């Protein structure tokens, strides 16, 4: 958004609120203009129509969360870089200064996807997922790609829990304060929890030294400890 064009900025902010509250179909240009204190001609001038205005709103949200994905510039070992990612991602999710409609709009996109979701995935979500996948491979060693995908989902889901379940958490634990110290403690917990899980993957999936490489190439699920030959034999 350009500070030299306040009318355009007001329309974008008002449109974000309106789309987040009512969805694309029910939001109207007239209501957006009323919120923005602008006339309909200004929307036509700056954006052309409602669809292009919506696309501009989603693009703006993408820009705020994808300028550099969390932990992208961190150095050190994979666990250290994982901690950088989780810490920065959580801080961004729980940031009080961001307009509340950002999250509401994204929630609407997830529940009723539009064509704009493709842009969101490519600009913000895929780079983040690829980054975490690289860390998972570095920490866990050779595991099937299907397992890598599940691990990425588990790590990111732990972070998102504190965003989506925050109203419930605050009611269950009224004394819980999401300040900087608590956000750091949550990040430490998520990383410690995840590292234990990643280090235990080979035992969980029954991967033996001779089968790891084949399992990674095929992408198939390896035998579980219960089904692996010889695992059920008792020592004399």
Candidate ranges 98-102, 107-111, 189-193; pick with highest mean pLDDT = 189-193
Q: Once rounded to an integer, what is the mean pLDDT over residues 72-96?
A: 87
User: To 10 degrees, the CA torsion angle through 214, 217, 218, 223?
Assistant: 40
Helix locations, the chain, DSSP H = 6-26, 29-36, 40-46, 50-66, 78-93, 100-111, 116-120, 126-140, 145-164, 166-172, 180-199, 201-204, 212-218
CA–CA distances in Å: residue 21 to residues 28, 180, 211: 11, 29, 52
pLDDT band at 112 (very low <50, low <70, confident <90, very high): confident
pLDDT surpasses 60 at 230: no
Q: Are 222 and 206 in contact, with CB atoms under 8 Å apart?
A: yes
The pLDDT score that the predictor gives to residue 122 is 82
- Third-level CATH fold of 68-221: Tetracycline Repressor; domain 2 (1.10.357)
The pLDDT score that the predictor gives to residue 70 is 64
Q: Once rounded to an integer, what is the mean pLDDT over residues 64-71?
A: 60
Q: Are 227 and 152 in contact, with CB atoms under 8 Å apart?
A: no
Structure pTM? 0.70
Distance, CA of 124 to CA of 136 (rounded, Å): 19
Share of the chain above pLDDT 70, in %: 78
The pLDDT score that the predictor gives to residue 167 is 87
Distance, CA of 83 to CA of 71 (rounded, Å): 8
Residues ≥6 apart with Cβ < 8 Å to 2: 8, 9
**End-to-end CA distance of the chain, in Å?**
74
Residues ≥6 apart with Cβ < 8 Å to 100: none
Per-residue pLDDT of 141-186, as tens digits, reads: 989 999 999 999 999 999 999 988 888 999 999 998 888 999 999 9
Q: Once rounded to an integer, what is the mean pLDDT over residues 194-200?
A: 94
pLDDT band at 207 (very low <50, low <70, confident <90, very high): low
Q: Looking at per-residue confidence, does 147 or 231 come out higher?
A: 147
DSSP string, 51-89: HHHHHHHHHHHHHHHHSS-TTTT--SSHHHHHHHHHHHH
User: To 10 degrees, the CA torsion angle through 32, 35, 36, 37?
Assistant: 120
pLDDT band at 58 (very low <50, low <70, confident <90, very high): confident
* Across 62-71, 99-108, 163-172, 211-220, least confident range: 211-220
Residues of the chain with CATH 1.10.357.10: 1-67, 68-221
* Across 86-90, 136-140, 149-153, 201-205, least confident range: 201-205
CATH superfamily of the domain spanning 1-67: Tetracycline Repressor, domain 2 (1.10.357.10)
pLDDT surpasses 70 at 3: no
């Amino acid at each position: 958004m350009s500070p030299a064009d306040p009318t355009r900025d007001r329309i974008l902010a008002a449109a974000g609120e309106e789309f987040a509250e009512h969805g694309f179909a029910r939001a109207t240009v007239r209501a957006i203009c009323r919120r923005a204190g602008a006339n309909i001609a200004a929307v036509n001038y700056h954006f052309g129509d409602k669809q292009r205005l919506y696309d501009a709103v989603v693009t703006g949200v993408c820009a705020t969360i994808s300028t550099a994905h969390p932990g992208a510039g961190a150095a050190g070992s994979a666990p250290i870089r994982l901690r950088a990612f989780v810490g920065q991602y959580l801080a961004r999710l729980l940031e009080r200064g961001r307009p509340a409609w950002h999250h509401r709009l994204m929630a609407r996109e997830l529940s009723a996807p539009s064509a704009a979701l493709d842009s969101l995935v490519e600009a913000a979500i895929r780079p983040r997922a690829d980054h975490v996948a690289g860390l998972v491979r570095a920490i866990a060693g050779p595991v099937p790609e299907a397992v890598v995908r599940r691990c990425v989902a588990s790590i990111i889901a732990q972070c998102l829990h504190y965003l989506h379940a925050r109203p419930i958490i605050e009611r269950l634990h009224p004394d819980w304060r999401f300040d900087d110290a608590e956000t750091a403690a949550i990040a430490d917990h998520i990383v410690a929890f995840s590292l234990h899980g990643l280090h235990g993957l080979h035992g969980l999936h029954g991967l033996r030294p001779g089968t790891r490489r084949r399992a990674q190439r095929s992408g198939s699920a390896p035998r579980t400890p219960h089904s692996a030959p010889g695992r059920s034999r008792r020592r004399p």
